[in-house]
Amino acid sequence: MIDIPAEPGPFPLDPAAVALIVIDMQRDFVEPGGFGASLGNDVSRLTAIIPAVADLIGLFRQKGWPVIHTRESHLPDLSDCPPAKRLRGKPSLRIGDPGPMGRILVRGEPGNQIVDGCAPLPGEVVIDKPGKGAFYKTNLDALLMQTGIRQLVFAGVTTEVCVQTSMREANDRGFECLLVEEATESYFPEFKAATLAMIHAQGGIVGWTCTLPALQKAVA
Ligand code: C5J
């Protein structure tokens, strides 16, 4: 075990049972012209974390620890997109509509690809998920069970939506979860701050958070 300085206390990282899960670092959320921008968000806060996410991915690759990527995406016929999700709010473009990076949040479209700096290497698992949580209607749980992964280090976007949902799903399934603070972001800084506070309140009720330098130093 390697003790990682974290909140609300040290995270006991097990190199034999840990994986990094990078949530939805796809152009749809991180670049102008995608789903995030269509909802009226300024994506520059998210673009700014690409180097930190890339450094974290690099650390796991260097250690030989698994890296898993997710994308929020729907089938081209939208049969996996409930109307309640597609019709929500008043976005300038809805899921499935043609946008500057292809159809919004649809599998295989340019906007659905993971940004260059965080792109998966051949052999790394990529989970396409129709929901906010990485476990909903995916084979992630089975895959983690098969490979003996019991700890998940989280990164990606957005902190309070897909990252937090996935972290809570993982926590309920018995995984120990650690969120790396510089490697996650929200369009709303106050929501990121609230999410970090929620995670480590009450003795780490849904997990731990740590800084990237603390993780890098502890595992060096
Ligand atoms: C959102 C996500 N925010 N990846 N998706 O709709 O957080």
Residue 118 or 92, more confident = 118
Which residue's alpha carbon is at the smallest distance from atom 2 of ligand 1? 162
Of 26, 29, 73, the one to substitute when testing ligand 1's pocket (max ligand atoms within 8 A of C-beta) is: 29
Residues annotated as catalytic (active site), given as ranges: 24, 129, 162
Rounded distance between C-alpha atoms, residue 136 and residue 101, angstroms: 26
Q: Report how far ligand 1's centroid is from the alpha carbon of 14 (Å).
A: 29
Q: Within 13 Å of residue 170, how many CA atoms lie on the same side as its CB?
A: 33
In this prediction, residue 89 carries a pLDDT of 85
Q: 28-47, pLDDT tens digit by residue?
A: 999 998 899 989 999 999 99
In this prediction, residue 126 carries a pLDDT of 98
Q: How many CB atoms lie within 10 A of CB 126?
A: 13
Q: Report how far ligand 1's centroid is from the alpha carbon of 166 (Å).
A: 11
In this prediction, residue 32 carries a pLDDT of 93
**Chain center to CA of 178:** 12
- Residue 198, pLDDT > 90, answer yes
Least confident window among 3-7, 65-69, 74-78, 93-97: 93-97
- Residue 164, pLDDT > 90, answer yes
Determine the 3-state secondary structure of 120 from DSSP: coil
Q: Report how far ligand 1's centroid is from the alpha carbon of 161 (Å).
A: 5
- Residue 205, pLDDT > 90, answer yes
- On whether the pTM is more than 0.80, the answer is yes
User: Side chain identity at 134, as an amino acid letter?
Assistant: A
In this prediction, residue 139 carries a pLDDT of 98
In this prediction, residue 206 carries a pLDDT of 94
Of 114, 138, 157, the one to substitute when testing ligand 1's pocket (max ligand atoms within 8 A of C-beta) is: 157
Q: Report how far ligand 1's centroid is from the alpha carbon of 132 (Å).
A: 6
Facing residues of 184 across strands?
156
Q: Does domain 2-219 have CATH number 3.50.50.60?
A: no
- Residue 106, pLDDT > 90, answer yes
In this prediction, residue 90 carries a pLDDT of 86
- Kindly report each contact of residues 188-193 with a partner whose C-beta sits within 8 Å and lies 24 or more positions away, as own/partner: 188/160, 189/45, 191/158, 191/159, 191/160, 192/159, 192/160
Mean pLDDT across the stretch 90-102? 93
Q: Report how far ligand 1's centroid is from the alpha carbon of 70 (Å).
A: 11
Ligand 1 atom at shortest distance from the alpha carbon of 35: 6
| All residues at 6 or more sequence positions from 44 whose CB lies less than 8 Å from its CB, including other chains | none
- Residue 12, pLDDT > 90, answer yes
ipTM of predicted complex: 0.95
Rounded distance between C-alpha atoms, residue 164 and residue 26, angstroms: 17
Residues with CB under 6 A from ligand 1: 24, 29, 72, 132, 157-158, 161-162
Is-cis flag, bond preceding 8, omega within 30? yes
Rounded distance between C-alpha atoms, residue 105 and residue 88, angstroms: 14
DSSP 148: T
Which residue's alpha carbon is at the smallest distance from atom 5 of ligand 1? 162
Mean pLDDT across the stretch 132-143? 98
Domain boundaries defined on the chain:
2-219
